[in-house]
Chains A and B, each alone.
Chain A
């Protein structure tokens, strides 16, 4: 039996992935004139991959991004380089290729880098030449017909972005797909392979740069040069690894393909014959599918953060509904209240013939002990869950982007001492958030304020009041707020707070204005024991502009 392997190589894989991502984001946008992917090395942005257009203009990988910006054409897009994402996209493609042969794998070097512990570092340094897929086609002739045509078919399949080679050894197919002048080639026998690889550079054997430079110093540049020298001389001068590579090429030794296993998906799907026409039956079908999906998840000890409901109808419309939760769940009692309004919102145009529900973003359920107290609300876990359920139903009703929660920031200015973050995203990616937060606040020397510092209610905007203080640094003896006159019995202050100058324009002229724009805050108590927070704006102004900025309730 004649062995036959196919290597597909994508010279611009990272760029292609980015292109696709951009297209998905905005299908109508014009394709950019050039795409460059950058990453940071020692605090400097450096080009990691450049598209063909910008390479033609002199952009090289490893170049400073600022220099590349100067060279790249107008309208070039700079995106962060994400090799892990690229590699997983390629492995998705490899899974897809399983339909051609049961043995399909990523390029072995790429797979090794991807599965290593420090895969981000390894992948950063990996030569883009290793972004490829290997398929074992041995014995599939009956399935696909003429293998020669198969290589052309594959080439056209990837719209010219992939280079394809079929050869009797993996090493041969690898070398041809990377270095042969034709974008697709087929070679049937080892003899033919020998002829084809003769003029390919020695590096097409997948030898390291060190060995390559050693060879070139000795005047060996091509595979043909190596073949002309006796094996014993080669091994004595350049060591065993070179011989191993040659043996792989000539088929005297074999290398494995580690098959890519497809990612497990959790879907329940049903096709209805005849199609469902009544709304009621559709809703019932969705509920049933949901509960069987949840059973599936429970069996595996998983819960999901996101669900999609896909309904295909007889008029070829596909309705997809996306459903995100505030926290991962696999519990019917928690999902039903969320899913019902979604089902209600689906508009059916005709009869539904296929319904599918998929669980996405699955996470393992961490086992936790049940509470003994019986009082569910006191259980921290339960409170959290109840709160999340509340958020879920709020977000379904008014939209998740409208649910906010306040967070403390470090600013002296009361208006800026808090900000609103989206409540749901914060919960969903809670881990991410804590990382970011620690980066932001735990800088060793920067202190964090506690809530006690400021009044419980901040008035936005501060409301003008009438007041007069007898002495510059003394609290006023009365204020008039909302038409009511309050007599002050005690007060602290002033605490002087400067405006945040970086929000405005600095110049010699306004430097002094900045000083005058500082506010003097006083904490006052009126005769009824209420605590107020007032300030006097504009220190130099004799007219005494007073405002109330908050109260302790």
Chain B
């Protein structure tokens, strides 16, 4: 029986990379095709090649053949010169499926798509017929007749089947006449989807094919891999048309026949047209001759002829080593260099490393701070080349993470640059390699739980209010489902059909690609023009081009990528170092900051970390006094451990207990101790998980790397994980470990799946933590000033940075027209005591060019003596910007308070007519309005203009009233001899930060500040429910509850909360 079933290969498949059309992932099609026993499957997304890499990877895994294809929508109106009322409507698009058969024809397709996409608006892509016909020499093509939902067709002119088919005949004829070898390379599709006029349509198509002598081919025009996806496909259609499913009507498909069908089913449907089935297999065989693994990607060639790149790399590495290790390069390092260089040479990655070196050199020449990280970055070679600053002797690196021979995968180097100057580096790369050869990787934006619910709900007709309730409660979802109880709790009817369907479809929709956007900084550089490898599209941002493939796809294909990332802290450190070096004889550099300064660690242990990189968040601050870092490696752990992953994996507490000697540190054997020893037996880094798998469960380094990748997407592919889980457990047990130990390890590994930090990243970050902490400890004024000048960045607002620096005994001077520059500056008194002069940049709405003009004029003419002289000297400073300055109370040195300044400004002539000398005398000083400013009022205006106030703390003015209510100031709470832990107390303050992390099960963390210091609130869900509005909205709170103190930090476990 089986032998009589003719073979079949599906040639018309839209994956969900045909955004909002296809309703199945590429890998779902592949595994389904393998299951059904298809000869193969071609992926033909609408006007795009975005999904083929995923499909390719899945096909490799499932060992089924797959062909690359694309469904081009052709603009026929322009070609046929149809009169206005006869024009084809948007849903009558004719399309053609095209398949490359070799690398050249694939390149032609990419180039065509690139060209079409650069010319047209994002959403309606129509390829002109002339452009389509340029493919005539190279590709296989199948012409697809339009689909008829109803007898009258789909067009507003009710053209009917016959006349639409007549137009289709025209298209076929034109194509046949210009196509090279039409009988071999051209076909016409017939489909049998149980539509309205199936038989008529097939007959009409056959007639056309016979008349033009073009063979027909059977396809099923597939939109989903199994019929149960029909509702989701309808939903996507409704979302695409921005309507509701209910009113989408005939835009939906009438039935669920567009699934991937088995060969036997196809044979039954097309039993009268066996030649159409065999044609499908024939085309597939030809098309699958090309696979994207045939792509010959190569990295740009060297520029110094005569010197091979491997020699050059060796030379640079060795000379770098000499300067890196001034005391002499140890044998161990030399050996490592040799080993790494040999591997690099073998894999031909020399030029990649040289590119990184060049980029870093460029940044250094422009004095842009940069620092590399990532797996490959933390190698001895990178250290010697100056790409990274983590000494590989201090951190032991897993070589498999560097580059592995087994998997043909590229090394991974991320380089952080100052956030304000990254653009310079990007433009350098574009100009260095040329626009045709360099582009950014894409980021495939997928439906997240929130957006999935929102869009599904909208298409099903839920009101925005209900959607808001649903999405606001998304934290309480388990596995993206809401239980009936939870629904009832949030005030929704759990049996409501639409809500249930929304949640069901949303859970299917999560993870579907939505559109393509720009990756944060992954650069692709290629020897051949990029548009011969992949379609290149314009990014939304001016002057940026992106390729159609996501960063994971690129890795899959072995295409090299360099991440050019932006990091605010680097900007801040550079600015701080500039301020510091201005007064030093020997300039300080980022990497020459003195190491192991115990005063810095003392400072960190007291959580005095406002502004310090990474460890300034509330969670980090809470952890610092417990971990009490004493050396660099402690910082590495600190950075890695206080993250959602390890917290979820419950690694923090065991680690803390062990570190504080409350729990015995034990290892099953020496092998485990070697891996987990330095982190006290708790796996914290990804490398440790990999090593565990290699040593204890007999994974090869390549497999371990696969495990790491699977971990990174633990939630999305649970199937892959299950196989790993089983392998690890089996491997460990066979090596004599207990099942319990294996289970324990697995849980911990799972914990940091999504957010886990590789050790090399943590080490790079820890360097910056130390550098910023050192600056804060020894140069608090310069550091705070640099922080203010690098805003927006980090965790705190200028107000908190300023308050913090004042608390450290540094004077902060107000903005003044005669003293402030655009940036904040550090002034020094005669006895070298620093003070910070706030800059004009802090004023909301003040223009930078006006600020700089002010600065320059002052430098030229000396300080302004009056408003009118200011106006004369800086003619460009518009009245509006002077008013803005007055609003920020910036005329103190002219003896004008805010109100007076405004009053005087009003008297200046509105347009700059020549000044009447009698003018100022006419003003009657007696009629000046009385000064009725109050300190609160002024403070309020300070906040409104600059976001901070240097006057006394707002809470100070309420203190008398607060004392009556029994509210204690923060310093009483903090003092060790004051109030006992567990006492019932009240305190009030302004809200500084407010967090409701998803990991904390609905607990809200708030930091309050009063005039004496700051303290934290923990608001548990029970309390939060009663006062959610107050907690989330008010700017000041009075909290009552139990006092808890951990080290220098104190908490109130809140039982009652009121607004201030």
Q: In the complex, what's the smallest C-beta–C-beta distance from A62 to chain B, in angstroms? A: 14
Interface string of B237-275 (1 = CB under 8 A from A): 000010101111111101111000000000001000000
Q: Is B932 in contact with A449, judged by CB distance below 8 angstroms?
A: no
Using Cβ atoms and an 8 Å threshold, which residues of chain A touch B196? 453, 495
Q: Is B468 in contact with A217, judged by CB distance below 8 angstroms?
A: no
One of A221, A229, A232, A498 near B254 (C-beta < 8 A): A498
Q: Is B256 in contact with A230, judged by CB distance below 8 angstroms?
A: no
Choose, from B226-234, B607-615, B629-637, B771-779, the stretch at the interface. B226-234
Q: Check if B903 is an interface residue, CB within 8 A of chain A.
A: yes
> Given known contacts A440-B247, A450-B152, A501-B231, is B158 in contact with A218 (CB within 8 Å)?
no
> Given known contacts A219-B929, A502-B501, is B465 in contact with A45 (CB within 8 Å)?
yes
Q: Is A496 in contact with B194, judged by CB distance below 8 angstroms?
A: yes
Q: Is B251 in contact with A445, judged by CB distance below 8 angstroms?
A: yes
Interface string of A494-538 (1 = CB under 8 A from B): 111110111111110001101100101000000000000000000
Q: In the complex, what's the smallest C-beta–C-beta distance from B885 to chain A, in angstroms? A: 12
Interface size on A, residues (CB 8 A): 60
Q: Check if A422 is an interface residue, CB within 8 A of chain B.
A: no
Using Cβ atoms and an 8 Å threshold, which residues of chain B touch A44? 464
> Given known contacts A445-B241, A506-B505, A520-B194, is B230 in contact with A498 (CB within 8 Å)?
yes
CA of A497 to CA of B121, assembled, Å: 35
Q: Is A453 in contact with B927, judged by CB distance below 8 angstroms?
A: no
Choose, from A118-126, A372-380, A406-414, A424-432, the stretch at the interface. A406-414
Using Cβ atoms and an 8 Å threshold, which residues of chain A touch B621? none
One of B255, B497, B903 near A497 (C-beta < 8 A): B255
One of A445, A500, A506, A518 near B504 (C-beta < 8 A): A506
> Given known contacts A218-B902, A518-B256, is B251 in contact with A502 (CB within 8 Å)?
no
Q: Check if A214 is an interface residue, CB within 8 A of chain B.
A: yes
Q: Check if B155 is an interface residue, CB within 8 A of chain A.
A: yes
- Contacts A412-B250, A498-B256 known; list 14 others, CB within 8 Å: A44-B464, A66-B464, A237-B903, A410-B249, A412-B252, A443-B243, A443-B247, A447-B149, A447-B153, A494-B194, A500-B246, A502-B501, A506-B501, A512-B227
Using Cβ atoms and an 8 Å threshold, which residues of chain B touch A225? 929-930
Would you list which residues of chain B between 627 and 676 have a CB under 8 Å from chain A?
none
CA of A515 to CA of B227, assembled, Å: 7
Using Cβ atoms and an 8 Å threshold, which residues of chain B touch A228? 927, 929
Q: In the complex, what residue of chain B is closest to A515 when comparing beta carbons?
A: B227
Q: List 11 A-B contacts (CB under 8 A).
A: A66-B468, A214-B906, A233-B924, A410-B250, A446-B248, A449-B150, A450-B151, A453-B152, A496-B254, A501-B230, A502-B246
Using Cβ atoms and an 8 Å threshold, which residues of chain B touch A229? 927-929
Q: Check if B469 is an interface residue, CB within 8 A of chain A.
A: yes
Would you list which residues of chain B between 201 and 253 have a CB under 8 Å from chain A?
227-228, 230-231, 234, 241, 243, 245-252
Enumerate the 7 nearest inter-chain pairs by beta-carbon distance, A residue then B residue, closest first: A410-B249, A496-B194, A237-B906, A511-B228, A217-B902, A219-B899, A496-B255
Q: In the complex, what's the smallest C-beta–C-beta distance from B1030 to chain A, in angstroms? A: 9
One of B230, B254, B902, B924 near A230 (C-beta < 8 A): B924
Q: Is A69 in contact with B465, judged by CB distance below 8 angstroms?
A: yes
Q: Is A514 in contact with B501, judged by CB distance below 8 angstroms?
A: no
Would you list which residues of chain B between 882 and 905 have a CB under 8 Å from chain A?
883, 886-887, 898-899, 902-903
> Given known contacts A228-B927, A498-B256, is B1029 in contact with A66 (CB within 8 Å)?
no
Would you list which residues of chain B between 924 and 951 have a CB under 8 Å from chain A?
924, 927-933
Using Cβ atoms and an 8 Å threshold, which residues of chain B touch A117? none
Q: Check if A322 is an interface residue, CB within 8 A of chain B.
A: no
Q: Is B150 in contact with A446, judged by CB distance below 8 angstroms?
A: no
Q: In the complex, what's the smallest C-beta–C-beta distance from A57 to chain B, in angstroms? A: 10
Q: Check if B195 is an interface residue, CB within 8 A of chain A.
A: yes
Using Cβ atoms and an 8 Å threshold, which residues of chain B touch A71? 1029
CA of A492 to CA of B149, assembled, Å: 16
Of A58, A230, A449, most buried by chain B (CB within 10 Å of CB) is A449
One of A217, A232, A233, A498 near B255 (C-beta < 8 A): A498
Q: Check if A238 is an interface residue, CB within 8 A of chain B.
A: yes
Q: Is A232 in contact with B922, judged by CB distance below 8 angstroms?
A: yes
Q: Is B256 in contact with A445, judged by CB distance below 8 angstroms?
A: no
Using Cβ atoms and an 8 Å threshold, which residues of chain B touch A69? 465
Q: Check if B154 is an interface residue, CB within 8 A of chain A.
A: yes
Q: Is A505 in contact with B501, judged by CB distance below 8 angstroms?
A: yes
Using Cβ atoms and an 8 Å threshold, which residues of chain B touch A518? 255-256
Q: In the complex, what's the smallest C-beta–C-beta distance from A147 to chain B, in angstroms? A: 35
Q: Check if A70 is an interface residue, CB within 8 A of chain B.
A: yes
Q: Check if A444 is an interface residue, CB within 8 A of chain B.
A: yes
Using Cβ atoms and an 8 Å threshold, which residues of chain A touch B460? 502
Would you list which residues of chain B between 422 and 469 have a CB under 8 Å from chain A?
460, 464-465, 468-469
CA of A116 to CA of B974, assembled, Å: 63
Of A229, A233, A497, most buried by chain B (CB within 10 Å of CB) is A233
Count of chain A to chain B residue pairs whose CB atoms are closer than 8 Å in the complex: 166
CA of A45 to CA of B463, assembled, Å: 10
Would you list which residues of chain B between 154 and 183 have a CB under 8 Å from chain A?
154-156, 158
Q: In the complex, what residue of chain A is closest to B495 when comparing beta carbons?
A: A505
Q: Check if B91 is an interface residue, CB within 8 A of chain A.
A: yes
Q: In the complex, what residue of chain B is closest to A503 when comparing beta carbons?
A: B497
Q: Is A505 in contact with B256, judged by CB distance below 8 angstroms?
A: no
Q: Is B230 in contact with A65, judged by CB distance below 8 angstroms?
A: no
Using Cβ atoms and an 8 Å threshold, which residues of chain B touch A497? 254-255
Q: Check if B90 is an interface residue, CB within 8 A of chain A.
A: yes
Q: Is A449 in contact with B501, judged by CB distance below 8 angstroms?
A: no
CA of A172 to CA of B1029, assembled, Å: 41
Using Cβ atoms and an 8 Å threshold, which residues of chain A touch B932? 219, 221
Q: In the complex, what residue of chain A is closest to B231 when comparing beta carbons?
A: A501
Would you list which residues of chain B between 765 and 805 have a CB under 8 Å from chain A?
none
Q: Is A514 in contact with B927, judged by CB distance below 8 angstroms?
A: no
Using Cβ atoms and an 8 Å threshold, which residues of chain A touch B195? 495
Q: In the complex, what residue of chain B is closest to A510 when comparing beta carbons?
A: B228
Q: Check if A84 is an interface residue, CB within 8 A of chain B.
A: no
Q: In the complex, what's the smallest C-beta–C-beta distance from B447 to chain A, in angstroms? A: 17
Q: Check if A43 is an interface residue, CB within 8 A of chain B.
A: yes
Using Cβ atoms and an 8 Å threshold, which residues of chain A touch B886? 217
Q: In the complex, what residue of chain A is closest to B229 when comparing beta carbons?
A: A511
Q: In the complex, what's the smallest C-beta–C-beta distance from A373 to chain B, in angstroms? A: 30
Q: Check if A236 is an interface residue, CB within 8 A of chain B.
A: yes
Q: Check if B1058 is an interface residue, CB within 8 A of chain A.
A: no
Q: Check if A220 is an interface residue, CB within 8 A of chain B.
A: yes
Q: Check if A99 is an interface residue, CB within 8 A of chain B.
A: no
Q: Is B251 in contact with A447, judged by CB distance below 8 angstroms?
A: yes
> Given known contacts A217-B887, A495-B198, is B228 in contact with A515 (CB within 8 Å)?
yes
Q: Check if B500 is an interface residue, CB within 8 A of chain A.
A: yes
Would you list which residues of chain B between 82 and 98 have a CB under 8 Å from chain A?
89-91
Using Cβ atoms and an 8 Å threshold, which residues of chain A touch B194? 494-496, 520
Q: In the complex, what's the smallest C-beta–C-beta distance from A527 to chain B, in angstroms? A: 22
CA of A84 to CA of B886, assembled, Å: 42
Q: Check if A452 is an interface residue, CB within 8 A of chain B.
A: yes
Would you list which residues of chain B between 490 and 515 have a CB under 8 Å from chain A?
497-498, 500-501, 504-505
Of A45, A70, A217, A501, most buried by chain B (CB within 10 Å of CB) is A217
Q: In the complex, what's the smallest C-beta–C-beta distance from B787 to chain A, in angstroms? A: 31
Q: Check if B79 is an interface residue, CB within 8 A of chain A.
A: no
Q: Check if B857 is an interface residue, CB within 8 A of chain A.
A: no
Using Cβ atoms and an 8 Å threshold, which residues of chain A touch B465? 45, 65-66, 69
Using Cβ atoms and an 8 Å threshold, which residues of chain B touch A446? 241, 243, 247-251
Q: Is B199 in contact with A492, judged by CB distance below 8 angstroms?
A: yes
Using Cβ atoms and an 8 Å threshold, which residues of chain B touch A218? 899, 902-903, 906, 929
Using Cβ atoms and an 8 Å threshold, which residues of chain B touch A503? 497
CA of A411 to CA of B886, assembled, Å: 65
CA of A236 to CA of B907, assembled, Å: 7
Q: In the complex, what's the smallest C-beta–C-beta distance from B460 to chain A, in angstroms? A: 6
CA of A221 to CA of B228, assembled, Å: 69
One of B89, B228, B247, B501 near A410 (C-beta < 8 A): B247
CA of A310 to CA of B167, assembled, Å: 66
Interface string of A272-311 (1 = CB under 8 A from B): 0000000000000000000000000000000000000000
